[in-house]
């Protein structure tokens, strides 16, 4: 059984078919990349998994459980964490607080206990902070831990968003264009991190990315998407040499 399985999913926005009868499955422990020109429907696939959009038809399961009968906020409970293409951080909070929100799915205390800050809350807080501190070390975020997001450079925000997702100890990590807007060096870092996330932390990664260097460097399998439908699927080399993919990219003038 695959970790994540999408079967014949379709979603339309008015006349636009954003996802067209798409099926894909992500195996536990792999890095699976989705590539495709702008507007191909890549982010929409993520938003379907996050339950922000309701598919017209099709099935989505995670670890054998039906994702479609869950609310959007109950997706995280299964161990699915994500980043956003245009960075969605909590701007008026510090880096540390942002990462701690990533721990929300592990919250075990209630409002009254937290108001009184009982010993149990303190113990739980320590656990959350230990987990977050590991992420801060891993991503070299120490210099920023108490900085407000609103004042941080773009590259750092991108890393913080990855950190927030990692703080939740996910089983599946969804990365929407993790390297877009990053410098060559930053992209290189991102590549090592994604490698380590898979190899050391054992987290399955599903990512959308335009940078073919990064895609071939880290992913086991690649899916090429055009107009919401599957164009090709296979190893990075197979997909890059696929005639349909080459045609699609030349046709749209490369993304």
Ligand X SMILES: Nc1ncnc2c1ncn2[C@@H]1O[C@H](COP(=O)(O)OP(=O)(O)O)[C@@H](O)[C@H]1O
- Cα 126 from Cα 245, distance rounded (Å): 49
Output the smallest distance, CB 240 to other proteins, in A: 25
97 binds other proteins (CB under 8 A): yes
- Backbone dihedral angles phi then psi of residue 82, each to the nearest 5 degrees: -145, 165
Q: Which does 126 bind (CB under 5 to 8 A by kind): ligand X, other proteins, Mg ion, none?
A: other proteins
User: Between residues 68 and 93, which has the closer beta carbon with respect to other proteins?
Assistant: 93
- Site size for Mg ion (CB under 5 A): 2
Contact (CB, 8 A) for 8 and 59: yes
Output the smallest distance, CB 105 to other proteins, in A: 4
Q: Which does 13 bind (CB under 5 to 8 A by kind): ligand X, other proteins, Mg ion, none?
A: ligand X
User: Of 87, 201, 212, 229, which lies in the binding site for other proteins, with binding defined by CB under 8 A?
Assistant: 87
User: Between residues 100 and 207, which has the closer beta carbon with respect to other proteins?
Assistant: 100
Provide the 3-class DSSP secondary structure of residue 172.
strand
User: Between residues 40 and 99, which has the closer beta carbon with respect to ligand X?
Assistant: 40
196 binds other proteins (CB under 8 A): no
Residue 15 structure tokens: 């006349």
What strands, in cross-sheet order, belong to the sheet with 4-13? 16-26, 4-13, 57-62, 65-66
Instruction: Determine the Cα angle at 181 with ends 176 and 185, to 5°.
Output: 105
- Cα 223 from Cα 225, distance rounded (Å): 6
188 binds other proteins (CB under 8 A): no
DSSP letter at 16 equals E
User: Of 29, 57, 66, 116, which lies in the binding site for other proteins, with binding defined by CB under 8 A?
Assistant: 116
Place of tokens 């379907």: 48
Binding site for Mg ion (CB under 5 A): 43, 85
């Amino acid at each position: 059984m695959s970790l994540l399985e999408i079967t014949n999913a379709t979603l339309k926005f008015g006349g636009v078919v954003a996802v067209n009868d798409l099926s894909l499955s992500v195996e536990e422990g792999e890095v699976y990349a989705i590539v495709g020109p702008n507007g191909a429907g890549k982010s929409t696939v993520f938003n379907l998994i996050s339950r922000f959009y309701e598919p017209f038809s099709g099935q989505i399961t995670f670890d054998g459980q039906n994702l479609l009968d869950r609310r959007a906020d109950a997706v995280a409970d299964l161990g699915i964490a994500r980043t956003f293409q245009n960075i969605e951080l909590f701007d008026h909070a510090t880096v540390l607080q942002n990462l701690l929100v990533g721990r929300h799915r592990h919250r075990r205390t209630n409002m009254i206990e937290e108001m009184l800050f009982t010993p149990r809350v303190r113990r739980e807080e320590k656990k959350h902070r230990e987990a977050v501190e590991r992420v801060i070390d891993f991503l070299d975020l120490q210099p920023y831990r108490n900085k407000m997001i609103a004042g941080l450079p773009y590259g750092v925000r991108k890393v913080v968003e990855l950190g927030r997702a990692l703080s939740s100890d996910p089983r599946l990590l969804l990365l929407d264009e993790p390297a877009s807007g990053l410098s060559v060096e930053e992209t290189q870092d991102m590549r090592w991190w994604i490698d380590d996330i898979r190899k050391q932390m054992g987290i399955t990664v599903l990512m959308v990315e335009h940078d073919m260097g990064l895609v071939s460097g880290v992913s086991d399998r690649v899916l090429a998407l055009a107009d919401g439908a599957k164009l090709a699927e296979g190893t990075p080399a197979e997909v890059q040499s696929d005639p349909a993919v080459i045609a699609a990219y030349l046709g749209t003038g490369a993304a």
